[in-house]
Chains A and B, each alone.
Chain A
């Protein structure tokens, strides 16, 4: 067999061998668990610092602006910011740019309030604390004191109470969402008369204190498409709403101009960005462990090394085989 045909054979390798290699590289590190440390970048630290500076008098929006296809990257970002906000008692309005994002938002909220997940927050539905609300008790500290004095005890392992309508409101999806953002610059209630569970927004203490986006301190959008731009175009540029991005890695490089121009506070780019936020939460004592994004980073290392190896091998075979002098190479599969 000649040298050239050996290289050609290598280049025409059945792609299913490459698929198998990627599969192995993605499974083995999980089973071994290296736990390599991750350093944080200014782009993510700036979001963390900003959210960390907020408290119960502020309010933020978290937009779950993605479909299930990119949930592996986007959900950890939304979950991390949601946990941070709940820890600091910052009220959170939850929205979705697209219909399937509505389901993603519900899933993330359920994840953070699920007693089976360590570090959960115990959720109290809007109906459950109606008596206290009618009695005019809406301040978070007073609310917790009254709620617990009524005989409610925080379950073991829970990080704290979160009251629907005080700490979070699941607004959900609305069609033509960019115009909904625009409408919310004048009134949130006009755009969402009810939340996704049918509770009237006008009765929610968090809405009474934050009637429009002008009274909101941050919009964090975790997005798998250019939907995130709408928060800048219709929120930031219309009324100066502070915006932060959590975007898929594919899109992350496109938005560096917005960081440098100050149009966004910061950006989490892909799973790495989410992992950085998890590390910051952990290092600052906000969570007791890191989560799925951090554990995925070992696999990310292994898979990147494999892909670089494939690029190098492909180039060696290409040049050593002299194919750069030929016009075409017979492909297969």
Chain B
């Protein structure tokens, strides 16, 4: 019974959102506003229940972890954002989280997105037994990366053999990449629609399994 009512309500709101395709209307607007309230309300409940309660409140109440008052006070300072006169105090927790998170991520981002990528770009075109399309692919990959980098390098005019030709090849490679992304984007959007059709035809109307 609970599930059945749930599915009917879900189907109603699904159709309410699709009604926007024809015309904007009050039911759509209601659904649009509900989603904002529920998502933040859910986030509050979950954050309290599985973060603040076991990590802060229960250890503090047990009386052994007074040191946790430091992050608690720091966190509470966020409230000052809404109190004129002391709103600047809200910068403290922001500064703590932002500064430390950037420090922590610096060496790891350098490794992930720069060093490992450079390392992976330096590889032989050819190895014994490699099919021709892989050899050609490796050439495209290595010179393509270089050419695309040249295209994004704006400190020099895109003229001459190196910068001129390089940037021209670069934009071709980038366009191939963007084309692939567009193809995948279409696929992704259709997949989301498929999910809803499965819900309507399957879970709600039982027309499909």
Chain A residues with CB under 8 Å of chain B are 16, 19, 22, 26-27, 30-31, 33, 67, 69-73, 99-100, 102-103, 172-176, 178-179, 182, 193-194, 196, 198, 229, 232-234, 236-238, 248-250, 252-254, 257, 260-263, 269-272, 292, 295-296, 299-300, 303-304, 307
What are 30 sample pairs from A and B whose C-beta atoms fall under 8 A apart?
A30-B207, A67-B39, A69-B192, A71-B195, A72-B196, A72-B198, A73-B188, A99-B42, A99-B46, A103-B42, A174-B51, A175-B47, A194-B54, A196-B49, A234-B105, A237-B112, A238-B108, A253-B180, A253-B184, A257-B117, A257-B120, A261-B117, A263-B116, A271-B194, A292-B195, A296-B195, A299-B194, A304-B186, A304-B187, A307-B186
Residues of B within 8 A of A198 (CB): 54
B-side contacts of A269, CB under 8 Å: 184
B50 near A173: Cβ-Cβ < 8 Å: yes
- Chain B residue numbers with a CB within 8 Å of A193 are 54-55
Please, how many angstroms separate the alpha-carbon atoms of A22 and B190 in the complex?
9
- Tell me the bound Cα distance from A190 to B187 in angstroms: 41
| Smallest CB gap from B193: residue in A | A26
Nearest 7 pairs of A and B residues by beta carbon: A72-B195, A249-B188, A261-B120, A271-B191, A99-B43, A296-B194, A249-B184
- Contact partner, A261, options B54, B119, B184, B198, Cβ 8 Å: B119
A176 touches B97 (CB 8 A): yes
Shortest CB distance B197–A (Å): 5
Report B189-209 CB contacts with A as 1/0, cut-off 8 Å. 111111111100100000111
Residues of B within 8 A of A73 (CB): 188, 191-192, 195
Q: Mark B47-70, 1 if CB is under 8 A from A, else 0.
A: 101110011000000000000000
Contact B184 A26 (CB under 8 A): no
Interface centre among A72, A102, A196, A263, by most chain B C-beta atoms within 10 angstroms, is A72
- Nearest Cβ distance between residue A121 and chain B, in whole angstroms? 20
**Given contact pairs A257-B120, A300-B187, A304-B190, A173 touches B46 in the complex (Cβ within 8 A):** yes
- Determine if B1 is an interface residue (Cβ-Cβ < 8 Å): no
Count, A-B residue pairs, CB within 8 A = 146
Q: Give chain A residues whose Cβ lies under 8 Å from the Cβ of B97.
A: 176
Residues of A within 8 A of B209 (CB): 295
B80 at the interface (CB under 8 A from A): no
Q: What B residues does A295 contact at CB under 8 A?
A: 198, 208-209
Residue pair B197, A232 in contact (C-beta under 8 Å): no
Q: Mostly helix, strand, loop or mixed at chain B's interface? A: helix
**Contacts A30-B198, A193-B54, A249-B184 given: A303-B190 contact, CB under 8 Å?**
yes
Contact A72 B194 (CB under 8 A): yes
Residues of B in contact, count (CB < 8 Å): 47
Cα A256 to Cα B166 in complex, Å, equals 22
Name the residue of chain B whose CB is nearest to the CB of A30.
Answer: B208
User: What distance in Å separates the Cβ of B16 from its nearest Cβ neighbour in chain A?
Assistant: 16
Q: A229 to B194, Cβ gap below 8 A?
A: no
Name the A residues within 8 Å of B51 (CB-CB): 173-175
CA distance A194 to B59 in the complex (A): 12
B201–A30 CB distance below 8 A:
yes
In addition to A26-B197, A257-B117, 10 A-B residue pairs with Cβ atoms within 8 Å of each other are A71-B195, A72-B192, A73-B192, A99-B42, A175-B51, A250-B181, A250-B189, A296-B195, A303-B190, A307-B186
Contact B21 A16 (CB under 8 A): yes
A30-B197, A194-B54, A261-B117 are contacts. A233–B109 as well, Cβ < 8 Å? yes
Closest to B75 in A: A175
Contact A270 B188, beta carbon cutoff 8 Å: yes
Residue of A nearest to B185 (CB): A250
Q: Which residues of the partner chain A approach B196 to less than 8 Å between Cβ atoms? A: 72
Q: With the chains together, A178 CA to B108 CA distance in Å? A: 12
Interchain nearest-CB distance for A262 vs B (Å): 7
Question: Do A19 and B192 touch (CB < 8 A)?
Answer: no
Cβ contact within 8 Å between A300 and B191: yes
Q: B111 near A: Cβ within 8 Å?
A: yes
**Chain A residues, CB < 8 A from B197:** 26-27, 30, 299
B36 at the interface (CB under 8 A from A): no
Once bound together, how far apart are the Cα atoms of A102 and B43, in whole Å?
A: 9
- Per a CB cutoff under 8 Å, which of A174, A236, A238 touches B50? A174
Q: In the bound complex, what is the Cα–Cα distance between A295 and B97 (angstroms)?
A: 45
Q: Which residues of A contact B177 (CB under 8 A)?
A: 253
| Whole-angstrom CA separation of A19 from B189 in the bound complex | 13
What separation, in Å, do the CA atoms of A229 and B194 have in the docked complex? 27
The answer to whether B191 touches A260 (Cβ under 8 A) is no
Instruction: Report B79 CB to chain A, min CB distance, Å.
Output: 16
